[in-house]
Amino acid sequence: MEIPSLSLEGQVAIVTGARRGIGKATALVLAAAGADVAICDLVADSGELDAVAEEARRMGRHILCCRADAGNASDVTAFVHRVLGELGTVDILVNNAGIGGGSGPPEPHLWEEREAGMAERIAWLNENPRVTMFQEADWDAVMATNLKSILLFSQAVSGVMAEKRRGAVVNVSSVLAYSRSAGNLSAYNVSKRGIVALTEGLAADLGRFGVRVNAIAPGGIETELMRYVWGVPERLKALEARMLLGKKLLKPEACAHLILFLVSDLAAHITGQTIVIDDGLTLSMGA
């Protein structure tokens, strides 16, 4: 019996939000599997994105690396145009770009400042309707980066994939897409639930052209977005106690390996699905 391969030799992948975390791990895993990779991020002047590109190039891959705002249509169009011009095609799209709040990506040097204001925010929320906390600009920023970006990138690459009658798209959602109650008055949660719906819609549309679209829903992953947990020992201990399989946060590489499976021939008959990867966290929380 012949087993389908995980090899991505001869393919070109786009990974958004690739300077660190799940995006970085995914770019490197796809490169290790043989793909040439185009990576972008909202922040490109910190040296992190260039470091990812250099590591992938040492694997012998062709790498395109530049700044792009995934929620801006002009940036997306220009980036994809450059990918097609320099790498020739697009076979794989990983929509990973995301932010937790309207202030943008969580930067390590701002961690203490954010943490210092957390108790005050919690106290305020205990005394006021949660819905009144929203600022329109913050809501729009989260929706643009987390949700609209998937539509924009999918639009930009769909013609190329449809013409080839082949392609794979993976969107990064979150276990918080399935949360209930007041937590869903978070722009982040709403955007991540929207990704599940958008994934299903894109899968139904693009499936006619041989293009598969799936999503992953990570939970309990050691990324900068979750520093508010792993940066505080008592919070980390409480969360890891609910990680049924390993009792510790997952590394971003775990998500990258799932993404590799979904874009490979091993998943040739899977589309329109959102796969939770959380070490059993949501089971233990009753979510």
Q: What is the pLDDT of residues 167-185, one digit of tens each?
A: 999 999 999 999 887 767 7
Query: What is residue 62's predicted lDDT score, i.e. its pLDDT?
Result: 98
Q: How far is CA 224 from CA 19, 76, 102, in A?
A: 11, 24, 16
Query: What is residue 131's predicted lDDT score, i.e. its pLDDT?
Result: 84
Q: What is the pLDDT of residues 62-101, one digit of tens each?
A: 999 999 999 999 999 999 999 999 999 999 999 999 998 8
Q: What share of the chain is helix, strand, coil (3-state, %, to 5)?
A: 55, 15, 30
Query: What is residue 127's predicted lDDT score, i.e. its pLDDT?
Result: 87
The neighbour count for residue 263, using CB atoms within 10 Å, is 26
Q: What is the pLDDT of residues 207-232, one digit of tens each?
A: 999 999 999 999 999 999 888 888 88
Per the DSSP assignment, residues forming a β-bridge with 276 are: 217
Show me where the domains of the chain are located: 12-226+250-277
Query: What is residue 150's predicted lDDT score, i.e. its pLDDT?
Result: 98
Rounded average pLDDT over 250-276: 98
pLDDT band at 286 (very low <50, low <70, confident <90, very high): low
Q: What is the pTM of this model?
A: 0.94
Give, in words, the CATH class of 12-226+250-277.
alpha beta
Rounded average pLDDT over 197-201: 98
**Residues in the chain, overall count:** 287
H-type alpha helices, 73-186 = 73-87, 111-116, 118-127, 136-143, 149-164
252 or 134, greater pLDDT: 252
Instruction: Name the pairing type of β-strands 211-218 and 167-172.
Output: parallel
SS3 assignment, position 32: helix
Q: Which residues are catalytic?
A: 188
CA-to-CA distance for 80 and 13, rounded, in angstroms?
11
Class of residue 150 by CB neighbours under 10 A (exposed 0-12, middle 13-18, buried 19+)? buried
Residue % of the chain over a pLDDT of 90: 78
